[in-house]
Amino acid sequence: MVLLYEFKGDIAAYLAGLRHTRMKTLADLIAFNIQNCDAEMTYIDQSVFEAAEATSGDLSDPVYLAARQLLGAGP
């Protein structure tokens, strides 16, 4: 759960620093992969991308904070 919340924000930050791409969000990557399924998802699916996209990505979300606390990572 923690990975999914953090991944959503981290991938957006990474993409924001790139030039020469229209990909700005995880949702953009998911859509691209679907449109180019034969080339992009030959060996692996995008279940992690989809699970991360389903989160709020908000690191102040009570669900995220509870998961971090459960892992001992604390706020």
The whole-number average pLDDT for the span 21-43 is 90
What pLDDT band is residue 74 in, cutting at 50, 70 and 90? low
In a domain, 56, yes or no: yes
In a domain, 10, yes or no: yes
What is the spatial distance between Cα 6 and Cα 36, in angstroms, rounded to a whole number?
26
Tokens in use for 35? 């449109």
Contact 51/4 with Cβ under 8 angstroms?
A: yes
Tokens 């030959």 sit on residue: 42
Contact 49/41 with Cβ under 8 angstroms?
A: no
In a domain, 75, yes or no: no
Please state the pTM of the whole predicted model: 0.82
Which of 24, 1, 3, 6 lies closest to 32, judged by CA? 24
- Average pLDDT over the chain, rounded to whole? 91
In a domain, 39, yes or no: yes
What pLDDT band is residue 73 in, cutting at 50, 70 and 90? low
List the domain range (segments joined by +) for residue 7: 2-70
What pLDDT band is residue 67 in, cutting at 50, 70 and 90? very high
Domain total in the chain: 1
